[in-house]
Amino acid sequence: MNEKLFSLLDSYYDDMVALRRHLHQHPELSFEEKETPALIEAFYKDLGVEVKTGVGGNGVTAVIKGGKPGKTVALRADFDALPIEDEKDVPYKSKISGKMHACGHDGHTATLLHLAKALHLMKEELPGTYVMIHQHAEEYAPGGAISMIEDGCLDGVDAVFGTHLWVTGELGDIEYRTGPIMAAADRFEIKIQGAGGHGAQPHKTKDAVVAGSQLVTSLQQIAARRVNPVESAVVSVGSFVAENAFNVIADSAKLIGTARTFAPEVRDLVEKEIGRITEGTCISTDCTYEYDYIRGYPAVVNHEKETDYLVRVVNDMPGVTAVESEMQMGGEDFAYYLEHRPGTFFFTGAKPEGVDVPYPHHHPKFDLNEKAMLIAAKTLGAAAIKYHNEN
């Protein structure tokens, strides 16, 4: 059965590339997607596949029912872009100023659509049901996954699989991991209020910049001295703004940053410690503060059984290698699917050819090896079929 699936996917490769490049030229930001879901809907209607739009907002789902009884497996791809100017010199460069597919979601969409086409043509031979989840707004919390789940995209689903095209991974590598594979991704904002004044008279001020500078340094003690060394945590301040003239001591400063963790108890600790250290710093500098900790996506935690299916599928695929992944500190709202259903999320190596160090995800010159889409489609399809055959 896999042989037929793979043969069909091979024959679709040129179309897959063409569709990915079309999407790359017409990116849409999170929660603003209109043309992309319309394109997805039209693709399924042309196939004669049952499709539902407006799922949880801008999401789309499609259902392919096999000709034999079985369980229901969901396969997910996201389709939103990022507010980044495309700086690549390629024919398929983004045509929309300030918007770009800089994370591979265009490839995810082209992959899943053509996998669906193959499964649809094979449906009479297949067991069970296949739910294609095309998700909007992965890049911007609260994300599209949670609203699509609330709108029923996982109703009746027994297991869920997803992949991310990964430009730091070698072409042909499938990077998997049982348990946590991607971190919880949270945001914090701290506003420090002091009392400004003349730069030549610091004794008459409460310097918000000095307080903020102390705070940036002190926050690094959380991961270094408060979190158990066998656990993982990142606390990074990404923005520190206190605009003023060169000879004026600022009366306020705003810090914005991110915290990344895996274990729920570590997540709670980090949130508490940021607040505690902020309070102590402001007491010592005689400033006041406002602190807001915004929880983003939870950690992506893969299930053992479904990850085992994946590894066994990959081991049977010629030219593809299963490689155990390190835990990644990036976040992904696929986490919500795995909180509701068993499944696994993996990385498909997509390093561009002839490149030693590829431009990373979210970079203005990001690009991927389009051959990885074919590998991703084959892996997702074979894993879903194996799940059906063994359940």
With CA atoms as reference, report the closest residue to 312 among 238, 387, 251.
Answer: 387
Distance separating alpha carbons of residues 185 and 187, to the nearest angstrom? 7
Q: What is the pLDDT of residue 378?
A: 98
Residue set of the binding site: 103, 105, 139, 164, 362
Q: Of residues 106, 138, 173, 370, which has the active-site annotation?
A: 138
Helix (H), strand (E) counts: the chain: 10, 16
Contact 337, 160 (CB under 8 A): yes
Distance separating alpha carbons of residues 219 and 237, to the nearest angstrom? 9
**Residue 279 designated active-site:** no
Which domains occur in the chain, in start order?
Answer: 2-181+299-390 (3.40.630.10), 184-297 (3.30.70.360)
Phi/psi class of residue 54: alpha, beta or left (left: φ > 0; alpha: ψ in -120 to 50)? Answer: left
**Alpha helix locations (H) across the chain?**
2-11, 13-25, 35-47, 105-121, 145-150, 208-221, 264-284, 304-315, 334-340, 371-390
Q: Which token pair is 15?
A: 């179309």
Contact 303, 342 (CB under 8 A): yes
Q: What is the pLDDT of residue 241?
A: 98
Cis, peptide link before residue 142, omega less than 30° from 0: yes
Q: Of residues 33, 78, 80, 306, which has the active-site annotation?
A: 80
R_g (Cα) of the chain, nearest Å: 23
Amino acid at residue number 336: Y
With CA atoms as reference, report the closest residue to 132 among 28, 58, 50.
Answer: 50
Q: Which token pair is 374?
A: 């074919």
Torsion 10-12-15-21 (CA) sign: negative
Q: Where does residue 121 rank: exposed (0-12), middle (13-18), buried (19+ CB within 10 A)?
A: middle
With CA atoms as reference, report the closest residue to 375 among 196, 4, 111, 7.
Answer: 111
With CA atoms as reference, report the closest residue to 131 among 181, 62, 195, 211.
Answer: 62
Residue 329 neighbours by CB under 8 Å, 6+ apart: 182, 183, 232, 234, 260
Residue matched to tokens 């590894």: 311
Residue set of the binding site for Mn(2+): 103, 105, 139, 164, 362
**Residue 367 designated active-site:** no
pLDDT tens digits for the chain (391 residues)?
Answer: 789 999 999 999 999 999 999 999 999 999 999 999 999 999 999 999 999 999 999 999 999 999 999 999 999 999 999 999 999 999 999 999 999 999 999 999 999 999 999 999 999 999 999 999 999 999 999 999 999 999 999 999 999 999 999 999 999 999 999 999 999 999 999 999 999 999 999 999 999 999 999 999 999 999 999 999 999 999 999 999 998 889 999 999 999 999 999 999 999 999 999 999 999 999 999 999 999 999 999 999 999 999 999 999 999 999 999 999 999 999 999 999 999 999 999 999 999 999 999 999 999 999 999 999 999 999 999 999 999 999 8
With CA atoms as reference, report the closest residue to 346 among 172, 168, 165, 183.
Answer: 165
